[in-house]
Chain A
C-alpha cells in the first residue's frame, strides 16, 4: 500500500510539474482548449454493495461531469493535457449518497507512429476531493492509469491497460472499540480491456471487461458476521440509521460493460451503457449489481 501511494504521488507530481513547465511556455506549446461534459441518468441495482438480499438498495441518480483544460503538444508524437474535473450525482432516494467531486487530471499521450492506425499509449494521474451529503464518505481519490490501444480499422479499436486507485476517507470514526472505523478508505488495482466498434457513421458499440483486486466497501444492517472478515467498520447513515459499512480487503471484482453510442453531430453523442459487476471475497462473500448509465456527452 505504501509503495503504491508513493508511486501515485510521484507520477502525479511528475505529470503536474511537466504540465506547469509547459503552461509556462505557451508560445512554444500552443495550448489547445479541451472541454468535455456529460449529463445523464445512472441506476445501480445494488448501491449498497450488499451481500444479503435484505440489505440491497437500488437507486437512480442524475449525474453531471465536466472536464476542461488545456492540451499541449510538445512534439509530433506526444501530447500532454491538464484538466480540471467536476463530477456530481444526485440520488432520488438515498440523498446521503449525493456527491460532488472536484479535482484535476494530468495525462501524457504518445502515438507510436504516424496515422490513424498507429498504436498509442496514455498515462494519466487524477486527484479529486469528494464530498457527500453524508460526510462519513467524504475523502480524496487518487488514481494512476496506463492505457494503450490501437485502431485496427476505421471501425474497430482495441485498448487496455491497468490502474491503481486509492480513496482516503477524511472522517473515519470507529463504532467498535478495537476495530478501525476507516471503512471507506480503499486501495485497488485493476486491469481492463475494451473494444470499440463503429457500426456506421452514427452508431458505435463498445464492450469491455475490468478485473479489480483490492478493498471494497459493503453495507449491511447490523450483522455480527462482518466482524469476522472485515478490517474496518463504520456507521453508514446514507442508507439508513441501522446500516453499517465494512471494508473487505482482497476482494476481486469483475465488471463487464457493454454499450452503444449514437453520434448527434461532430461533438455530441447519446449513450447507453450497462455494467454487470460481480465481486468475490474470502469467506464466501459475494455480491452483484447491475449499473445502467444513459448520458449525453459533449466534447469540444
Chain B
C-alpha cells in the first residue's frame, strides 16, 4: 500500500514536471537586416519537426485597426482559423479588401466595426488594401502553427510556453528578399528548453503607393 502510494506520487510528480517543462521551453529570435539594424515586424514561426502542432483554439477576437488611414498593426500574425475584425477608427469610411490566394475578401464600404469578422482559414500571407485610400497596405500572416511571434523595434521576438520539442523555425517579413523557406533553422528544445536563433535578412525595397499630394492630381484615385 505504501509502495503503491509512493509510486503514484512519483508518477504524478513526473507528469507535473513534464507539464511544467512543456510550458517552459522558449525560443528567443533576433532578426536584423543586411545593414545589421534590428528589424521590426518580422514574423518568426516555429513548427514541430515531428507531428502536427497541437494547436490551441484560435483566439476569439483579433483586431487590425484602421487609424489615420493606415492599418494598425501593419503586420498581424494569426494562427489559421482565427477570426479578425477590422475596426475603422477614422471618421471616414474604408473598404478593406485582399486579393491574396490565402484569403480573398472584400468588406463593403463601412464605418465603425463590421458585425462579422473575416476568418483566415488558410495559411499564407494576406495583403490588405483599402479601395478608397490606395496607399494603405497591411499584412495578415496566417500561420499553420500556433507557435509564432512578431519582432519588436529591437528586432527581438520571444516564442514562449513551447512544448519541449524540436522545431523548424523560419522568418517572414513584408520586405523579405527570396523565399521564406530559405530562412529555416532548427532548434531542439528537448535538452535545456531554450534556444536563441538569429537571422540576418536581405530586404528588398518596398515601393508603396504615394500618399503625399502631387500637383494637379488632387483628390482620390
Asked if A12 CB lies within 8 Å of chain B CBs, one says: no
The 28 listed contacts between A and B (C-beta, < 8 Å) are A30-B92, A32-B92, A75-B109, A76-B95, A76-B131, A79-B132, A115-B99, A118-B131, A151-B209, A153-B207, A155-B207, A159-B217, A194-B217, A196-B214, A200-B205, A201-B207, A204-B214, A206-B215, A261-B214, A263-B211, A266-B212, A269-B213, A269-B214, A271-B214, A271-B215, A295-B215, A299-B213, A299-B218
Cβ contact of A114, chosen from B92, B106, B111, B220, cutoff 8 A: B106
Given A76-B108, A109-B220, A151-B209: A115 in contact with B129 (beta carbons within 8 A): yes
Asked if B74 CB lies within 8 Å of chain A CBs, one says: no
Q: Do residues B207 and A198 form an inter-chain contact, with CB atoms below 8 A?
A: yes
Q: Do residues A122 and B111 form an inter-chain contact, with CB atoms below 8 A?
A: no
The interface residues of chain A, by DSSP majority, are classed as strand
Report the number of A-B residue pairs with Cβ-Cβ less than 8 Å. 107
Q: Do residues B221 and A269 form an inter-chain contact, with CB atoms below 8 A?
A: no
Asked if A71 CB lies within 8 Å of chain B CBs, one says: yes
Nearest A-chain residue to B95, judged by Cβ:
A76
Asked if A149 CB lies within 8 Å of chain B CBs, one says: yes
Given A79-B220, A297-B214, A299-B212, 14 more contacts at CB 8 Å? A30-B92, A34-B219, A67-B218, A109-B220, A115-B129, A116-B129, A153-B207, A206-B214, A206-B215, A206-B216, A267-B211, A269-B212, A298-B213, A299-B213
Nearest A-chain residue to B131, judged by Cβ:
A114
Q: Do residues B219 and A109 form an inter-chain contact, with CB atoms below 8 A?
A: yes
- Map CB proximity to B onto A138-175 as digits: 1 under 8 Å, 0 otherwise: 00000000000101011100010000000000000000
Given A76-B131, A109-B221, A111-B131: A263 in contact with B93 (beta carbons within 8 A): no
- Map CB proximity to A onto B126-148 as digits: 1 under 8 Å, 0 otherwise: 00010110100000000000000
Q: Do residues B108 and A273 form an inter-chain contact, with CB atoms below 8 A?
A: no
Q: Do residues B213 and A267 form an inter-chain contact, with CB atoms below 8 A?
A: yes
Within the assembled complex, what's the spacing in Å between the Cα atoms of A297 and B221?
A: 18
Within the assembled complex, what's the spacing in Å between the Cα atoms of A208 and B217?
A: 12
Cβ contact of B219, chosen from A107, A118, A154, cutoff 8 A: A107
Asked if A36 CB lies within 8 Å of chain B CBs, one says: yes
Within the assembled complex, what's the spacing in Å between the Cα atoms of A266 and B208?
A: 12
Asked if B210 CB lies within 8 Å of chain A CBs, one says: yes
B residues less than 8 Å from A263 (CB atoms): 210-212
Please give the residue numbers on chain B whose beta carbons come within 8 Å of chain A beta carbons, in ascending order.
91-93, 95, 97, 99, 106, 108-109, 111, 129, 131-132, 134, 205, 207-221
Please, how many residues of chain A have a CB less than 8 angstroms from a CB on the other chain? 51
Within the assembled complex, what's the spacing in Å between the Cα atoms of A73 and B209?
A: 22
Q: Do residues A204 and B106 form an inter-chain contact, with CB atoms below 8 A?
A: no
From residue 236 to 288 of chain A, which have CB atoms closer than 8 A to chain B? 259, 261, 263-269, 271, 273
- What is the CB-to-nearest-CB distance from A119 to chain B, in angstroms, rounded to a whole number? 9
Within the assembled complex, what's the spacing in Å between the Cα atoms of A208 and B216?
A: 11
B residues less than 8 Å from A153 (CB atoms): 207
Within the assembled complex, what's the spacing in Å between the Cα atoms of A56 and B208?
A: 45
Cβ contact of A194, chosen from B216, B218, B221, cutoff 8 A: B216
Given A67-B218, A75-B109, A114-B106: A266 in contact with B211 (beta carbons within 8 A): yes
Given A81-B219, A149-B221: A201 in contact with B208 (beta carbons within 8 A): yes
List the 10 shortest-distance A-B pairs measured between CB atoms, nearest first.
Answer: A263-B212, A299-B213, A120-B221, A116-B134, A32-B92, A154-B207, A297-B213, A269-B212, A271-B215, A266-B211
- What is the CB-to-nearest-CB distance from B148 to chain A, in angstroms, rounded to a whole number? 28
Asked if A98 CB lies within 8 Å of chain B CBs, one says: no
- Map CB proximity to B onto A190-211 as digits: 1 under 8 Å, 0 otherwise: 0000101010110010101000
Asked if A220 CB lies within 8 Å of chain B CBs, one says: no
Asked if A60 CB lies within 8 Å of chain B CBs, one says: no
- What is the CB-to-nearest-CB distance from A76 to chain B, in angstroms, rounded to a whole number? 5
A residues less than 8 Å from B106 (CB atoms): 114
Cβ contact of B97, chosen from A75, A79, A115, A259, cutoff 8 A: A115
A residues less than 8 Å from B217 (CB atoms): 159, 194, 196, 206
